Amino acid sequence: MHRISVTVNGTTREGEVEARTLLVHWLRDSLGLAGTPIGCDTSNCGACTVLMDGRSVKSCSVLAVQADGSEVTTIQGLANGEWHPVQKAFKECHALQCGYCTPGMITAAVDLLGENPDPTEEEIRHGLEGNLCRCTGYHNIVKAVELAAGEMREAAK
């Protein structure tokens, strides 16, 4: 067993983990942060995407022990008093249906906008290529990211 300490959604969390414990399983099963779902075994779907030290990662493809000392933000930690602009835009644009891909999709979009505040449609689609959605055809997801980008640029002025 390995002792780890990870700042998760702003709070330091400590635990004992087996080496093989995936970050997503630790988040879900040990910390009870079940908002981050698991959608595949092959790191294709991106449903489990979280921010690790500020960048998007697929939490099914990181060992919990590798996250030791890191800062992790999950969908449950994105709102800071009020919803993140991407969360608002997803609701506004009907960018989700079943919602299972949504935590990963939103997290990936937050990462994308952190790097590129004014992306083209093409750049948005590139930025989300690691996240699969089966309900929306991505149409409204792209619209939501465009809306959020505009809101965030406006707020930054």
Partner 1 sequence: MTETTEAGTAQAGTARTPAIGSPVRRKEDDRLVTGQTTWTDNVALPGALHMGLVRSPIAHARITGIDTSAAKAMPGVVDVFTAADLGDDNVKIPCVWPVTDDIVMPDFHSLAVDKVRQVGDVVAVVLAQDKVTAEDAIENVVVDYDPLPAVVDMEAALADGSPILHEDKGTNQCYTMNFPCGDYEAAKAASDVVVSRRFINQRLIPVAMEPRAVACSPMGTSEEYTLWSATQVPHVLRVLLALSTGVPENQLRVIAPDVGGGFGSKLQMYREEALALVLARRLGRPVRWTETRSENMVATHHGRDQIQDVEIAATRDGTIKGLKVALTANMGAYLQIITPGIPLLGMFMYNGIYKMDAYDFSCTGVFTNTTPTDAYRGAGRPEATYAIERIVDELAAELGMDPIELRRKNWIAHEEFPYQTISGLTYDTGNYEAATEKALELFKYDELRAEQQRRRESNDLVQLGIGVSTFTEMCGLAPSRTLGALKYVAGGWENCTIRVLPLGKVELVTGTSPHGQGHVTSWSQIASDVLGVPVEDVEVIHGDTARSPYGMDTYGSRSLAVGGQAILRAGQKVVEKAKLIAAHQMEANPDDLEFVDGAFRVKGDPEKSTTIQAVAFEAFTAHNLPDGMEPTLSGESTVDPADFSFPHGTHLAAMEVDTETGKATLRSYVCVDDVGVVVNPLIVEGQVHGGIAQGVAQALYEGAVYDADGNLLTASMADYLLPTALDLPSFVTDRTVTPSTTHPLGTKGVGEAGTIASTPAIINGVVDALRPYGVNDVPMPASPEHVWRTLQAAKAGGAA
Partner 2 sequence: MIPAAFDYVRPGSLDEAVRALHEGGEDAKVLAGGQSLMPMLRMRLATPSLLVDCSRLGELRGVRDDGDAIVIGAGTPHHEVMHDALVRAHAPLIATVTATVADPAIRHRGTFGGSLAHADPAADLPTAALVLGAQFSIVGPGGRRTVAAADFFTDFFTTALAADEILESVRIPKLGDGWSFDYQKFNRTAQAWAIVGVAAAVRRSNGSIAEARVGLTNMGAGPLRASATEAALAGAGADGIAAAAEQAAQNTSPTSDLHAQADFRQHLARVLTRRAVTNAARF
Q: Which residues contact partner 2 (rule: CB under 8 A)? A: 2, 18-20, 22, 25, 41-44, 46, 49, 52, 55-58, 60-63, 65-66, 108, 111-112, 126-127, 129-132
Q: What's the CA gap between 84 and 110, in Å, rounded?
A: 9
Query: Which does residue 24 touch among partner 1, partner 2, none (CB within 5 to 8 A, set by kind)?
Result: none
Q: Which of 34, 55, 117, 120 binds partner 1 (CB under 8 A)?
A: 34
Give the per-residue contact string, 92-131, with partner 1 (x = CB under 8 A; - = no): x-x-xxxxxxxx--x--------------x--xxx-xxxx
**CA dist 19 → 37, 68, 116 (Å):** 21, 11, 35
Residue 96 CA, chain-centre distance (Å), reads 14
Minimum CB separation from partner 2 for residue 20, in Å? 4
User: Which residue, 68 or 83, is less far from partner 1 as judged by CB?
Assistant: 83
Minimum CB separation from partner 2 for residue 58, in Å? 5
Query: Which does residue 61 touch among partner 2, partner 1, none (CB within 5 to 8 A, set by kind)?
Result: partner 2
In the region spanning residues 57 to 96, those forming contacts with partner 1, defined by CB under 8 A, are 74-76, 78-79, 83, 87, 90-92, 94, 96
Q: Which of 4, 31, 36, 85 binds partner 1 (CB under 8 A)?
A: 36
Look up tokens 């969360």; give the residue.
87
